[in-house]
Amino acid sequence: MRRISLILFLLLSACFVFSQEKAPLPETKYKLAVIAHRGNHVKVPENTLESVKAAIKSGADYVEIDLRTTKDGYLVIHHDGTVNRMTNGTGNIKDLTLAELQQLKVADKNNPTKKTYRIPTFSAVLKAAKGKINIYLDFKDAGVTETYRQIQEAGMEKQVVVYVNKIPQYREWRKTAPGMPLITSVLEEVKNKEQLTFFLEQGTIEVVDNIYDKEMVATANDNGVAVWLDVQSDHEGADDWNQALQRGIQGIQTDHPEALIAYLNKSGLRNGLGKDLAKEDPYTKYKKKTYRELKNIKYGQAPGDENRFDAYFPKDMQPNARVIVYIHGGGWTGGDKEEFPKQLIEELVGKRGYLVVSMNYRLVKDGQDRFPAQIEDVQKALEFIAKNAAKYKYNGNEYALMGGSAGAHLAMLYAYGYDNAKQVKTVIDLWGPTDFTDKSVRPDGSNADKTVINFLGEKDENAQVAKDASPAYRLTKETGTPTILFHGGEDPLVNVSQAQNLYQKLQALGIPAQLEIYPGEKHGVGPASAVDVFTKTFLWLEKYYPAK
């Protein structure tokens, strides 16, 4: 299998991830899954119907196959994007019809055979596997809707797990078939269990395949995620298998399923040495939750869910608990309150005792609800929170505002320009724009420029509305509030100078400020930097907005 890491959406960025409960993996006789890589192709060519049948005969729990689409829209099984390596033909799968492909003879040119093998259709493989072996589907190049339709038609919904290679694939599978278990690879930059926990929280994944540290395997398992390692090679053997097993994994992908199973049986290791996740109590995480949720609370009259927020309360909330309000990103045209990271909820609410609100607001659509609609919604939300403070016994007179991208802009703008009662005690800025009058960072025709013009409804950077909507212009000695700013050094959408210039003004005005720049990071940050963002956010809050 080609190792293409899936960069799951980072929830602190301006993106939104579909989240859901974990899907159950297909049932297996043993708790250690043996996966026949591209079928059992020791004696027959890979990804053929015969290799699938050989995998069944070997006793493997899964057969790993690669899915592609023909020129005329049929789903077929083939690893490479071309037929050059494994057939007597040439050309791209996507440029050949099913009829043309089925005329080709499949055979490894390094291991010729007299018997004729063909490229199989996905439907033929599903039929051969049903009730006999589970499918590990490497989703190379296909449509989710048609793939899932064929899986359903074959009655194989509970016998398939899908490896996703790209972000759009993840999103589409979660939208189309939320009950389908998914596999992916962890980013190379994820080096420790804290970073791994962050990565795994960015979406819903059932299996990862490239964790080799025993402690990180345990961390994945603690998050309900299985680890299936790839050991496949022409020369794999007992040393490779035993080394993988000692890490406490739940599955092994192999080019020699018969030999591996024989080794496992002889060694008494057919169930492996890892945690049996199938026996885990599915309600464990709910029992461990240290906070309560109130979803979709309506604070205004905008249609749909644009004037709604989610609130997270400590289970044992103390009287006069302090409130943190999070405002999502999305270029003022997208995003959702669900983007607030679950790790932060657990830490801020469950462990530290804050009440956290994550809010939606009106989005710019078809030229409607441009600025200042969004800042008006922030004001409405805070008024609503204050109005209900006595009822729920939290502090409705003080707030910390935190936002990502466009949400960070709104947090800073409200604090510096609209907080007449001086209720905002601190702002946490996650790569937000600060000055719309700075044309140098949004040249004509750039994505940054188009986004700002759509938000303001004004092209002229010197227009009054550009100044009115800029936190840097609204910031004065009187309106300033302690602010911590986080930014990627190579942010292509919001230039890092936006944070640097605001930080310099905060310092010049004598307002407490801290600037954290992450070289190499773009708009949003990866897992390693995110852990640092979290840590410094907690330290900042302890100093300028302590929970107690």
Residue 459: predicted pLDDT: 95
Q: Which of 79, 126, 86 is nearest to 104 (CA)?
A: 86
Taking the domains of the chain in order of start, what are their residue ranges? 33-277, 288-432+444-482+493-500
Q: For all residues of the chain together, what is the average pLDDT?
A: 92
Query: Could you read off the pLDDT of 4-50 as tens digits, one per residue?
Result: 333 333 333 333 333 456 789 999 999 999 999 999 998 899 999 99
Instruction: Determine the CATH number of domain 33-277.
Output: 3.20.20.190
Query: Could you read off the pLDDT of 487-536 as tens digits, one per residue?
Result: 999 999 999 999 999 999 999 999 999 999 999 999 988 877 888 999 99
Are 184 and 26 in contact, with CB atoms under 8 Å apart? Answer: no
> What is the fold of 288-432+444-482+493-500?
Rossmann fold (3.40.50)
Residue 167: predicted pLDDT: 78
HSE-CB for 166 with a 13 A CA cutoff: 9
Residue 287: predicted pLDDT: 55
Mean pLDDT of 209-217: 94
What does the alpha-carbon distance between residue 241 and residue 247 come to, in Å, rounded to a whole number?
10
Are 46 and 40 in contact, with CB atoms under 8 Å apart? Answer: no
Q: Which two tokens stand for residue 350?
A: 């469950």
Predicted TM-score (pTM) of this structure: 0.72
Mean pLDDT of 237-258: 97
Write out the H or E segment, with its range, that includes residue 36. strand 33-37
Residue 20: predicted pLDDT: 56
Peptide bond into 512 cis (omega under 30): no
Write out the H or E segment, with its range, that includes residue 208. strand 207-208
Query: Could you read off the pLDDT of 319-336 as tens digits, one per residue?
Result: 999 999 999 999 999 999
Per the document, the length of the chain is 548
**Interior CA angle at 188 toward 428 and 136, to 5°?**
115
The helix/strand/coil state of 22 is coil
